[in-house]
Structure 1
């Protein structure tokens, strides 16, 4: 039972560090926050390209993941269609909701996956777990700052995500390999939801402000950051 609690604590720590980094940038360089927001889109592209997809192709059946990816993307399109026609919900709040939903699915699949391994006594594993959460914390806090939503909301969000992470790890530890199909579909759903948030909400909604060339440069910079970041974690 201690393992899910440990993972929840690690998740809070990593997400919190990411949020603190974004808050510091906003405090000392507030005019740079829109740029950080776009770079976060590149960070998410990097997570998908250099982390989620490579691990997915190794661990899961391609057809199941593809089905989950399409399901996640289409599900977000449908939700976005209904949100678009509701008067009290603006684009910024919708983006935050989509991002949290995507990370929510990501934490479920990570919890299931890590629940089946036995590396939790390894200090390098625990350190890697904390560092893995930081980019997601940066993305969530930056979105909150851009939308001018109270910072305390960040604490609520990371608490919920961390509890979900711990519970999923407990379930993954309990069922082990018997939930392979669910694991595969959840992995695909994570990729699909993250793709939607990144392409449609963060990058897509920022092109009017920056134009395509600066936008692509910032996205590429964010993706390269994650590539280097993951390379350092695996060394």
Structure 2
């Protein structure tokens, strides 16, 4: 919630067309609903494995957007932007590793996942570099898609399914603590 509230949404509202972002967010949310429909019909998957699937799918879309933005905006020589991208990967890696530890999957799976996500980022950066003239519209829609996918995972899969395990008050305290930590983290990133 902290990343969405303090980083993704403010940055998006400042830099992109609201209608395009809204269309992208609806698209992302619908895509995640469809992915959820297929995951929820497989009896052999438990809740944590589905959550991992949703999280990786959301981060996959997010990496497409980040890579595309990085390539399209021509910030290859911006060390602060590159530093922000590198530091931004830390919470994503922690989230993936935490779920892998909960469902007791070996660490090699983590390496496979981050390798795939890295390739997706690189290919997206290359594509962003190659289609700069239409990049703004595509970037707006992709950013909206990232918001929609991350909102789905955060609200439905992580917070929604954690209510039963933790209760409302402890969950609210954890969300608040996490949001405060993300706010501090974002304030320390270079501009």
TM-score, normalised to structure 1's length? 0.76
- Per-residue Cα deviation, 1:152-208 (whole angstroms, up to 9, x for no partner): 100000011011101111111111131333222211111111111111111111111
Say whether 1:141 aligns with 2:97. Answer: yes
Distance in 1 (alpha carbons) for counterparts of 2:133 and 2:151? 27
Matched, 1:102 2:58: yes
Q: Which residue of 2 aligns with 1:210?
A: 166
Structure 2 gaps, min length 5? none
The 1:189/1:220 distance shift into structure 2, 3 A limit, reads same
Report deviation, 1:233: 0.5
Q: Determine the structure 2 residue equivalent to 1:60.
A: 16
**What per-residue deviation string (whole Å, max 9, x for no partner) do you get for residues 52-106 of structure 1?**
1112112211111111111211221232233222222222111111100100111
CA RMSD, Structure 1 to Structure 2 (Å) = 1.5
| Deviation of 1:122 (Å) | 4.3
Bigger mean CA offset, 117-126 vs 147-156 = 117-126
1:230 maps to what in 2? 186
Partner-residue secondary structure (3-state), 1:230: helix
Distance 1:202 1:57 in 2: 25
Query: TM-score when scaled to structure 2?
Result: 0.93
Q: Offset at 1:148? A: 1.2
Q: 2:128 matched to 1:172?
A: yes
Contact 2:74–2:129, Cα closer than 8 Å, also in 1: no
Aligned to 1:185: 141
What secondary structure, in the 3-state scheme, does the structure 2 residue paired with 1:148 have? coil
Q: Answer yes or no: is the 8 Å Cα contact 2:32–2:152 preserved in 1.
A: yes
Relative to structure 1, the CA distance from residue 65 to residue 175 in structure 2 (aligned partners, 3 Å threshold; closer, same or farther) is same
In the alignment of these two chains, the number of paired residues is 191
Q: Distance in 2 between matches of 1:83 and 1:119?
A: 37
Quote the offset at 1:119 in angstroms: 3.8
CA contact (8 A) 2:22 2:144 kept: yes
Structure 1 unaligned residues grouped into runs of 5+: 1-44
Match of residue 200 from structure 1: 156
Q: Does the CA contact (< 8 Å) of 2:25 and 2:144 recur in 1?
A: yes
- Which among 97, 100, 111 is matched to residue 155 of structure 1? 111
Contact 2:71-2:124 within 8 A present in 1 as well: yes
